[in-house]
Amino acid sequence: MTSGTVVVVGGAGVDVKASPAGALARATSNPGRVRLSAGGAARNVAENLARLGERVKLVAAVGDDPLADLVLGPTAAAGVDVTGVRRVAAPTGVYAAVLAGGELEVAVAQQGAAEALTPADLSREAATLRDAACVVLDANLLPETASEAARLARGVPLCLLPTSAAKAPRLAPLLPLAGLCVLSAREAAVLTGQPAAGDSDRGLAVARAVARLGARAVVLTLGPAGLGWWSEAGGWWQAALPARVVDATGAGDAAAAAAVWAWRRKLEPPRVLRLAAAAAALTVASEETVAPQLGPEVLEAHGR
């Protein structure tokens, strides 16, 4: 295992996931199941990394409300250091999703406390960021907060997670500082101004366009179509691994975490992609946002 602490900065909140018992009927109430779990891109990545054996600290903000306990309790229990998570006078962030057949139909995100993290808060974590083995930033941060995190972590390997098409532009100025950027086709389309990719050839072209914006290595996720890598060493593609989709929530975050884990170990790009695909497959086959069985041995075995 590589030494040091991975510091993950960004969104932490609660996932509310609703799944109809049958076919989704619109404009009416559907019988089904509603589940609450800890969520948020940065938090999900932090938990995945902790389950993979990394020493991880999460820097984020949650509300001063009961929902915050649903975030902090399971996150700490998974092995993540949550002493960098602030409680603020704002509601805890909520991601509410309607799923059909395990796949996302529609979602609404209430940022709440997620955007309350300020540059001053990060200054209190200056030593943590400066001494980190790696810093991961997601786009739930306001631009000035993300910039301050990158400034304090200058010289530390940096990974960017653009998180959503709406928020991706927040991290665009930081791409020249990024050693790794993990993003979806829609996020890449916003950053590059190119049409979203739908297949491997187009995916590699878009990943290359993101790399031209400054990121030294890019992992592009296309869900069931697979994942691509682009760096100065060239481009590679990995098909998605077979999985029975139970709940796709968190699959992209799991792929990002596995990519960071493998990248930190300086594995070859095809292996990075294979392990990222394995993490995504394990996650979509689980009801949980982070697959509880995830670990280094499980990931390696699933990614053979």
Structure confidence at residue 85 (pLDDT): 97
Structure confidence at residue 199 (pLDDT): 86
Q: 47, 52, 55: which is closest to 4 by C-alpha?
A: 55
CATH number, domain containing residue 236: 3.40.1190.20
Structure confidence at residue 207 (pLDDT): 96
Residue 147 lies in a domain: yes
- Number of separate domains in the chain: 1
Structure confidence at residue 169 (pLDDT): 97
Structure confidence at residue 198 (pLDDT): 82
Structure confidence at residue 196 (pLDDT): 84
Residue 31 lies in a domain: no
Residue 104 lies in a domain: no
- Please state, in angstroms and rounded to a whole number, the distance separating the CA atoms of residues 276 and 253: 10
Would you call 130 exposed, middle or buried from its count of C-beta atoms within 10 A (0-12, 13-18, 19+)?
A: middle
Domain of 64 in residue numbering reads as 5-12+40-92+114-302
CB-based contacts of 199-208 (< 8 A; 24+ apart in sequence): 199/225, 200/225, 200/226, 200/228, 200/237, 203/228, 203/237, 204/228, 204/230, 204/235, 204/237, 207/235, 208/235
Residue 234 lies in a domain: yes
Residue 102 lies in a domain: no
> Which residue positions in the chain have pLDDT lower than 50?
1
Q: 62, 54, 111: which is closest to 82 by C-alpha?
A: 62
